[in-house]
Structure 1
Amino acid sequence: MAATCTVVCCDVDKETDKAVIVQFSNGNLKNEDQLDFTYYKNIDDKNPRKQSRRMLVAESDRLSYVGNNFAKSNLCKYYVGVLNKETMNMEVHTAQLFNMQPVIPGETTETDTSKTNSQSYREKVDSLIEAFGTNKQKRALSSRRLNQVGSETLQQAVAKAASSVIDQKGLEALQQEVAQTESREDIDIYLPPCHRDADKPENVYLFDDLLTPVEYGALEEAGSKIASLSPEELQKMRREGSLCVVRQLEILPSAAEAREKGARCAYYLNLMLRLVREHHISRKFGQEDGCPRIIRMKLMDTFTVETFRNGRVQNMVSSTMRLKVAAYCMALLLHMGHMTVNLTLLYRDLGVTEAKIMDMAKLMGLTLSKSARGKTDETELKDDHKHASLILPLVKYDPIVDRRKRKKMR
């Protein structure tokens, strides 16, 4: 009667329980005692792309062999069974496969190695075409090299023209123009799309650039829900830091179409303000309130950045993205408040300084003003409130420069 055996599973999570299976590309190993094996592990455990990298080195008197798992796919796992003939227990271990390649020292000279390393991939392919390519490939190579000569001639002509422009304008003037252009491009990344040549104020920052028709249609149910909140629920939102949203809900118009649009915009505005208050954004953000998936993905893609934390990829709102949220909230509030926005309520909700909100309004070309004193509304807090209005033509302010206060001499 044949002997039976039992299977015992080992701890697959431990590194010591992983079996190593090697294969030599140039033959079979007859005597493993002649080789000294060394197992290397990547020390960068925080990066999930590098924490599983391993390298195996086998050294002998004649040759050295190197194998790694950098190009291995993690879509499948390998297992190996080891049978103990005394206990008849087969232990199952996770396995790693290594293809050992020989490393021959002194195969190429230092000159050839430096020359090969200095060549690009395209140059190496061109050398192969010259030696072993077909006639059609050789003709294509010669044609491409002729075009390359033509492009080099064009570059020389452009460089000559640039030097003449520098001689005429001066290097400092050109550097100043380039710096202004680059700073403007950096600013435009965080501002909504602006149409400065528009004939109407509502066309400067188009509503469709803030919410597309598909996204606006997806907010129908959520907008009707937030429009029917009770006074107690509105008071709770005010304590959580949504003064702008509560203010817009309190002054919703009576017309059905305008009221529905204001409610949908208020819900989207509340989501942007909540996004700023949370440090790390999960993929389930807003799901408990019935937020549509298309709106959640829009917020993630537009206002968050990906970062590595505890070996996982997470979304967060950085300081620059906080200013981008402020700009988009300001543009949305312009459409909700007849091209006027209360900057004081906005910077209190966002948790940023008043100076940053004022600078953002200036960058958007808005006209700044103050409200009258002595208002008794609970949300106004009886102080001067800063307002911004979109009036054509847009105001062009001087570049913002940090000004340091001088210390008084005593």
Structure 2
Amino acid sequence: MAAEVLSSARWSYCGEPEESQRAVLVQFSNGKLLNPGNMRFTLYKSSDSTNPRKRGQRILAAETERLSYVGNNFGTGALKCNSLCRHFVGILNKTSGEMEVYDAELFNMQPLFADEPIESDSSLENQTKTFREKMDSCIEAFGTTKQKRALNSRRMNSVGSESLNRAVTKAAEEIIGTKGMTALLSDAAQDDAQDESLYLPPCHDDAATPKDVYKFDDLLSPAEYEALEAPSEAFRNVTSEEILKMIEENSHCSFVIEALKSLPADKERRDRQARCLWFLDTLVKFRAQKVIKRKSALGPGVPHIINTKLLKHFTCLTYNNGSLRNLISDSMKAKITAYVLLLALHISNFETDLTMLQRDLKLSEKRIIEIAKAMRLRVSKRKVEVAAGREEEHRIGVLRLPLPAPQNAEHQAKRRRIT
């Protein structure tokens, strides 16, 4: 009769159980119980119902006449099988032949001796340790020689860093006490001005003429100027048809094309203008890049000495993925912009169209004006005729003596990041 009932039994999964319907399975770490009927079990639940990680934490306590046992479903003593698989308990109703299946949790019960408190001072201390401190303790106890050596080295560096921080703090307090905050702020403003000057061409305040304020030799050395003769030949002998082709193909920046339309007839001046325009056009193209992956980044037509100048003076050497590369940072872009402005001033008799250069360099009007004022230029507005007889209002930068006074520290702080 029992066999007939079992053969016709039906499974009925009760779905996600309520807390009262979750079954508990236990195993004892130190053997089997001789008399399980005398066990008294108590299940403790976490009182933190808001934290999803703590909400399901359970502690199961069991007592016999001789020993007490405890098990939990969290922490180091929890069984990993609870997270890797699911356990079920089935209750068979022999009359109806239906088996109700409930979810279950497995607890590993370990003996708890009377003279051993449930939560010792060491366990409390362990709970307050960070993950790094716990890992360090494991390395001290079970780590290899290499791991222990690395741990000692890191701790020594940490001690050295703390000592250095204390020394720096003490030195800073002594300096502030000696010089005072006002003097330190003044020194910081001067340092900002010096940092900014690293990205601007050398300025000679005591010059008698505009061309001596920013000397041409600071832009191009005699050897570099000589090397520009061959590549600038196309500009020197340019025709009207070639200029129209440049406009159609957009092969050169607008400032260069406009200057080529009005090259001087004098042979020496024409040659100088052509060389300056070719180098200005090269700087604009060079600035448009971000990373220079090869030494001849602008093609075979650029002389070696010019390539070297561009990489040395207008890029930062960085290390990436096992190789060195030249990066054009924001500060280097500021430097290139300043040198382009200076070339334009020498080309156009120290009065240049900032709006046209701004568009060629893809800058905002505010940024080009900031750089121009940092170079001690006077900035004004002027109507400029463009195509089809239409006029536009352009910003004009003029280098004129006497030079405007340098801006104060508040203005310098605002233009520390020039791009």
Which of residues 291, 296, 299 is equivalent to 2:310?
Answer: 299
2:238 maps to 1:226: no
Q: Is the 8 A contact 1:365 1:390 kept in 2?
A: yes
> Deviations for 1:136-162, whole angstroms, at most 9, x for unmatched residues?
xxxxxxxxxxxxxxxxxxxxxxx99x8
Offset of residue 227 of structure 1: 2.7
Q: Name which one, 1 or 2, has greater alpha-carbon Rg.
A: 2
User: Residues of 1 paired with 2:354 and 2:285: CA distance?
Assistant: 18
1:7-406 aligned at under 5 Å gives the runs: 166=179, 171-229=180-238, 230-236=242-248, 239-240=250-251, 242-281=253-292, 282-288=294-300, 290-372=301-383, 375-377=385-387, 382-396=391-405, 397-398=407-408, 399-400=410-411
1:322 and 1:240 map into 2 onto residues whose CA distance is 21
SS at match of 1:384: strand
Q: TM-score, normalised by structure 2?
A: 0.53
Is this contact kept in 2: 1:361–1:388, CA < 8 A?
Answer: yes
Q: Which amino acid aligns with 1:193?
A: P
CA distance in 2, matches of 1:260, 1:225: 11
Residue in 2 aligned with 1:45? none
Deviation at 1:384, TM superposition (A): 0.7
CA deviation map 1:315-364 (0-9, x unaligned): 23122211111101111111111011111111111112111110111111
CA contact (8 A) 1:342 1:385 kept: yes
C-alpha separation between the residues in 1 aligned to 2:390 and 2:283? 24
Q: Percent identity?
A: 31
Whether contact under 8 Å (1:370, 1:384) holds in the other structure is yes
Structure 1 residue 370, shift from structure 2 partner = 1.2
Once the two structures are overlaid, the 10-residue window that deviates more, 203-212 or 339-348, is: 339-348
For residues 192 and 182 of structure 2, the distance between their equivalents in structure 1, rounded to whole angstroms, comes to 16
DSSP 3-state at the match of 1:247: helix
Q: Residue 318 of structure 1 aligns to which amino acid in structure 2? A: S
**One-letter amino acid of the structure 2 residue matched with residue 317 of structure 1:** I
- The one-letter code of the counterpart of 1:224 is E
Q: Hey, which bits of structure 1, 4+ residues long, moved more than 6 A?
A: 162-165
Q: CA deviation at 1:402?
A: 5.1
1:76-98 deviation line (CA, Å, top 9, x unaligned): xxxxxxxxxxxxxxxxxxxxxxx
Give structure 2 stretches of 5+ with no counterpart: 1-143, 161-172
| Letter of the 1:227 counterpart | R
Distance 2:373 2:361 in 1: 18
- Map of 2:103 onto structure 1: none
- Residues 316, 233 of structure 1: CA spacing in aligned structure 2 closer, same or farther, 3 A cutoff? farther
Q: Conserved in 2, the CA contact under 8 Å of 1:241 and 1:349? A: no
Q: Is the 8 A contact 1:252 1:259 kept in 2?
A: yes
* Structure-2 separation of matches of 1:226 and 1:356: 30
Deviations 1:184-227 (A, max 9, x none): 01110110011111111100000000001110011111111233
CA RMSD across the alignment? 3.2
